């Protein structure tokens, strides 16, 4: 065969069209942290490309560079065959790149429709065509399989619903490349399937998706290729069909991980520490009954909006229930506020880390100790050394990636922020820990550390109420599972007998 100039030219063009994106030798440093270190990434047109790596590996930073949120210290970006330098997210958007951020960025005081169509509401600024706005928004909401009313205020939505709105908003831009930074962290069952359907139909239309997730089973369901990052560098890019779970985990954590879930040890439960009787909350909870024993991990499974979080918040005194009783340590107790709950020895790791769990402008050590100031306070004098020592030990125990315990929480990666929230409540020495999505956005290696801590608490006779949208996690950790649907408990099963199919069956009917 004779290779002509035109043959080469055609091939060159094909390569250009095949690769919608090339990021070459990107570096980015923050004070004390080299977040990206000569990182390169190539993405083909129309593929779903998984971006994997441990907490703090640099995934979000790389995607912020790509979407014009931050500018790199060095490196080149070639998008649709052209060298580009984005000066702002709007600039990237106009060229066809949209990002769904890991930390949700909707405006809580505005409606769902206003958020989706922000800056693009139909009609004139003083005469908005609301009918059209709501209709348009509804079309995008339907694409992600949710029927939230477009006029609902975003602040009234659950974390998972907010996530769905973010996705709907991204779809509305008609982008060539959509970056999804952990869109599935709070979704399960049918919502997750709907997200995958949406991604598949985008890919069919030739839209490229970069997909970040710590849930590895998803990678095999929807990604064509993956790139694994570690410490701001690329470890490898592979076809998903040519890899397996063990190999991916090795790439992410840099070593073998003997088992993802530490095996449970036989343990005799103690007395019932918490008993909830006939608890009802108008429109949200209907006659909830549950018992939690010392040394027990009780799971709450269900879909978005099923009432799991409301059960947790009612016990914690954050929601005021209309009917029912709570018995704590054998005594009828009315818990009026979270402050009172903490004093009684009940702690809640909330699902919304940014709004309720973490003060992002505070340092790590301040965040750790603020729920248990008594422990570091001696007659009005702060025990600063103790604060630092205890904080350092939590950083080690949970393997939090930070230059120091004085770093402000905002500067940590998403998964590391989550570990700080978990650490804060571990420090509080509570008897009951209510964990609402404790491993949201946490990498496989660090998840195991959190599981080990939970098991350690159980050995100290504490009790755990665990809510998670990761059903594998619930099944592996819980002694008993309650399935919640439409504010009611639909069934109970032992951890050993549970399966995702059984949960789904109860969660839907």
Give the residues lining the site for ligand ATP (CB under 6 A). 30, 33, 35, 53, 55-61, 102, 401, 411-416, 441, 443
Please choose which of Mg ion, ligand ATP, none residue 35 contacts, taking the beta carbon within 5 to 8 angstroms, the exact cut-off set by kind. ligand ATP
CB of 309 to ligand ATP, least distance (A): 22
Question: Which residue, 316, 348, 415, is CA-closest to 102?
Answer: 415
Please choose which of ligand ATP, Mg ion, none residue 150 contacts, taking the beta carbon within 5 to 8 angstroms, the exact cut-off set by kind. none
CB of 182 to ligand ATP, least distance (A): 7
> For residues 121 and 228, which CB has a smaller minimum distance to ligand ATP in the complex?
228
How far apart are alpha carbons 180 and 99 in whole angstroms? 6
Please choose which of ligand ATP, Mg ion, none residue 113 contacts, taking the beta carbon within 5 to 8 angstroms, the exact cut-off set by kind. none
- List of residues contacting Mg ion (CB under 5 A): 60, 102, 414
Evaluate whether 121 touches 133 at the Cβ level (below 8 Å). yes
SS (H, E, C) 6-60: HHHHHHHHHHHHHEEEEEEEEEEEECCEEEEEEEEEEEECCCEEEEEECCCCCHH
Please choose which of ligand ATP, Mg ion, none residue 411 contacts, taking the beta carbon within 5 to 8 angstroms, the exact cut-off set by kind. ligand ATP
Residue 74's SS3 state is strand
Tokens of residue 222, six digits: 């929807």
CB of 181 to Mg ion, least distance (A): 6
> For residues 338 and 415, which CB has a smaller minimum distance to ligand ATP in the complex?
415
Evaluate whether 303 touches 339 at the Cβ level (below 8 Å). no
How far apart are alpha carbons 463 and 201 in whole angstroms? 44
How far apart are alpha carbons 176 and 198 in whole angstroms? 15
Please choose which of Mg ion, ligand ATP, none residue 33 contacts, taking the beta carbon within 5 to 8 angstroms, the exact cut-off set by kind. ligand ATP
Please choose which of Mg ion, ligand ATP, none residue 227 contacts, taking the beta carbon within 5 to 8 angstroms, the exact cut-off set by kind. none
CB of 182 to Mg ion, least distance (A): 7
CB of 210 to Mg ion, least distance (A): 12
Please choose which of ligand ATP, Mg ion, none residue 56 contacts, taking the beta carbon within 5 to 8 angstroms, the exact cut-off set by kind. ligand ATP
CB of 442 to ligand ATP, least distance (A): 8
> For residues 57 and 458, which CB has a smaller minimum distance to ligand ATP in the complex?
57
The CA radius of gyration of the chain, in Å to the nearest whole number, is: 24
Please choose which of Mg ion, ligand ATP, none residue 57 contacts, taking the beta carbon within 5 to 8 angstroms, the exact cut-off set by kind. ligand ATP
CB of 66 to Mg ion, least distance (A): 13
**Position closest to ligand ATP via CB:** 415
Determine if residue 399 is left, alpha or beta; phi over 0 gives left, psi from -120 to 50 gives alpha, anything else beta. Answer: left
> For residues 26 and 477, which CB has a smaller minimum distance to ligand ATP in the complex?
26
Please choose which of Mg ion, ligand ATP, none residue 189 contacts, taking the beta carbon within 5 to 8 angstroms, the exact cut-off set by kind. none
Residue pointed to by tokens 């069952």: 189
CB of 71 to ligand ATP, least distance (A): 13
In this structure, the dihedral spanned by the alpha carbons of residues 226, 182, 412 and 427, taken in order and rounded to 10 degrees, is -120
> For residues 195 and 420, which CB has a smaller minimum distance to ligand ATP in the complex?
420
Evaluate whether 484 touches 300 at the Cβ level (below 8 Å). yes
> For residues 180 and 279, which CB has a smaller minimum distance to ligand ATP in the complex?
180
Residue 363's SS3 state is strand
CB of 14 to ligand ATP, least distance (A): 32
How far apart are alpha carbons 99 and 179 in whole angstroms? 5
Tokens of residue 36, six digits: 């990206």
How far apart are alpha carbons 271 and 125 in whole angstroms? 62
- In this structure, the chain runs to a length of 509
CB of 70 to ligand ATP, least distance (A): 8
Evaluate whether 106 touches 115 at the Cβ level (below 8 Å). yes
Please choose which of ligand ATP, Mg ion, none residue 50 contacts, taking the beta carbon within 5 to 8 angstroms, the exact cut-off set by kind. none
Please choose which of ligand ATP, Mg ion, none residue 55 contacts, taking the beta carbon within 5 to 8 angstroms, the exact cut-off set by kind. ligand ATP
> For residues 152 and 411, which CB has a smaller minimum distance to ligand ATP in the complex?
411
> For residues 27 and 194, which CB has a smaller minimum distance to ligand ATP in the complex?
27
> For residues 353 and 490, which CB has a smaller minimum distance to ligand ATP in the complex?
353
> For residues 186 and 432, which CB has a smaller minimum distance to Mg ion in the complex?
186
CB of 24 to ligand ATP, least distance (A): 18
What DSSP string runs through 394-420? HHHHTT---S-TTSBGGGS-HHHHHHH
Please choose which of ligand ATP, Mg ion, none residue 61 contacts, taking the beta carbon within 5 to 8 angstroms, the exact cut-off set by kind. ligand ATP
What residues contact 301, with CB distance under 8 A and at least 6 apart? 308, 468, 471, 474, 481, 482, 483, 484, 503, 507
User: How far, rounded to the nearest angstrom, does the alpha carbon of residue 218 sit from its chain's CA centroid?
Assistant: 14
> For residues 313 and 401, which CB has a smaller minimum distance to ligand ATP in the complex?
401
> For residues 101 and 308, which CB has a smaller minimum distance to ligand ATP in the complex?
101
Q: Can you state the angle between helices 444-459 and 245-253, rounded to 10 degrees? A: 90
CB of 59 to Mg ion, least distance (A): 5
Strands 97-100 and 177-181: parallel
């Amino acid at each position: 065969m004779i290779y002509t100039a035109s043959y080469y030219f055609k091939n060159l063009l094909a390569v250009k069209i095949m690769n919608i994106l090339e990021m070459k030798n990107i570096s980015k440093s923050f004070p004390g942290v080299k977040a990206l270190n000569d990182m390169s990434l190539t993405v083909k047109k129309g593929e779903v490309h998984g971006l994997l790596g441990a907490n703090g590996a640099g995934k979000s930073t790389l995607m912020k560079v790509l979407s014009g949120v931050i500018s790199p210290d060095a490196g080149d970006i070639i998008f649709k065959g052209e060298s580009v330098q984005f000066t702002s997210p709007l600039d990237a958007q106009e060229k066809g790149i949209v990002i769904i951020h890991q930390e949700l960025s909707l405006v809580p005081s505005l409606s769902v429709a206003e958020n989706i169509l922000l800056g693009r509401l139909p009609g004139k600024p003083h005469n908005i065509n609301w009918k059209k706005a709501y209709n348009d928004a509804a079309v995008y909401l339907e694409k992600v399989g949710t029927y939230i009313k477009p006029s609902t205020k975003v602040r009234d939505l659950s974390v998972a619903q907010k996530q769905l709105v973010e996705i709907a908003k991204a779809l509305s831009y008609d982008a060539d490349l959509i970056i999804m930074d952990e869109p599935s962290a709070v979704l399960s069952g049918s919502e997750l399937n709907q997200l995958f359907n949406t991604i598949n139909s985008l890919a069919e239309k030739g839209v490229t998706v970069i997909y970040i997730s710590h849930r590895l089973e998803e990678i095999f369901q929807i990604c064509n290729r993956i790139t694994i990052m570690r410490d701001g560098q690329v470890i490898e890019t592979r076809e998903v069909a040519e890899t397996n779970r063990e190999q991916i985990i090795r790439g992410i954590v840099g070593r073998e991980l003997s088992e993802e879930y530490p095996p449970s040890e036989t343990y005799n439960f103690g007395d019932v520490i918490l008993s909830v009787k006939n608890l009802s909350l108008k429109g949200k909870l209907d006659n909830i009954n549950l018992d939690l024993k010392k040394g027990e991990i009780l799971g709450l499974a269900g879909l978005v909006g099923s009432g799991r979080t409301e059960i947790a918040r009612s016990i914690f005194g954050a929601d005021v229930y209309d009917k029912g009783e709570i018995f704590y340590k054998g005594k009828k107790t009315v818990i009026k506020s979270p402050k009172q709950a903490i004093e009684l020895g009940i702690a809640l790791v909330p699902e919304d880390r940014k709004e309720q769990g973490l003060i992002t402008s505070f340092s790590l050590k301040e965040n750790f100790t603020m729920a248990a100031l008594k422990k570091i306070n001696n007659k009005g004098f702060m025990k600063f050394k103790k604060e630092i020592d205890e904080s350092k030990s939590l950083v080690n125990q949970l393997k939090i990636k930070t230059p120091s315990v004085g770093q402000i929480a905002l500067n940590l990666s998403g998964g590391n922020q989550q570990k700080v929230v978990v650490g804060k409540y571990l420090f509080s020495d509570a008897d009951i820990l209510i964990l609402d999505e404790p491993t949201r956005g946490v990498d496989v290696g660090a998840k195991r550390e959190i599981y080990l801590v939970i098991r350690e608490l159980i050995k100290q006779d504490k009790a755990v109420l665990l809510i998670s949208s990761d059903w594998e996690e619930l099944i592996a950790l819980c002694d008993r599972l309650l399935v919640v649907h439409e504010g009611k408990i639909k069934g109970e099963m032992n951890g050993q007998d549970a399966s995702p199919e059984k949960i789904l069956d109860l969660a839907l009917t």
